[in-house]
Amino acid sequence: MTIRVLLADDQALLRATFRILIDSADDLTVIAEAADGREAVELAEAHRPDVVVMDIRMPGTDGVAATAAICSRPELADTHILVLTTFENDENVAKALRAGAGGFLGKGVSPDVLLAGIRTVAAGEALLSPTATRALITRFLATPDTDDPLVIPDAVRTLTDREREVVTLAAHGRSNAQIADRLVLSPLTVRSHIQRAMTKLDVRDRAQLVVVAYQSGLVKPRPTTSDPPDTP
């Protein structure tokens, strides 16, 4: 199945470069381009893409507001957001993740990483590297957003002990295979626990599940004395 992509970036040359790259992959195709967040929302509603590759800094309606608008629409529940940013520890990235973005990449990533990232987000998996996001989580995601809480405590309490265990490991950046090895389960069983937890907590994808895990207090950030280096 071909993954349908909407590009949202205010730089026309960058959009053209991304289009050439994405269209070169057999399983990906660009269906539309937006020059700002407002246009991204309108085109998402019109075309129902599988993934929106969203620049976070755009004039007018920025990527954060556009992400929130797209993720709030029930008819776009199957549209996933991959945020691109120059500053991977920007507070706006955390806001976009809270709003429902499936993950983020820096604009300096290699072409192969970008294409793999689109596929990952399209599958509903979180594109959250433990190393790259540790400072982000500690500084921003672990701080409850009292103006727009993602989950109520009662919803967290509906998780079974095993679901809590699986969600905690996922929030610490473990893949399904790593969780399966740790808990002596099959990857399919881990995936089932993740999906049930997502349903109970009413989240769009694995990335938002991680956000909820920290913001609800289910998972506590590990203390750090300084920001970790941005290494792959």
> In the block, which residue shows the tokens 């790593």?
178
- pTM for this one? 0.72
Place of tokens 């609800």: 216
Tell me 127's DSSP state.
B
Structure tokens at 51: 């993934």
Single-letter amino acid code for the residue at 90: D
3-state secondary structure of 115: helix
pLDDT along the chain (232 residues), means of 10: 95 94 96 96 97 92 93 92 76 78 84 91 72 57 58 79 92 84 93 91 81 80 48 36
Lay out the sheet containing 80-85: strands in order across.
Answer: 28-34, 3-8, 51-55, 80-85, 103-106
For 134-175, write each residue's pLDDT tens digit.
556 666 666 666 555 555 667 888 999 999 999 999 888 788
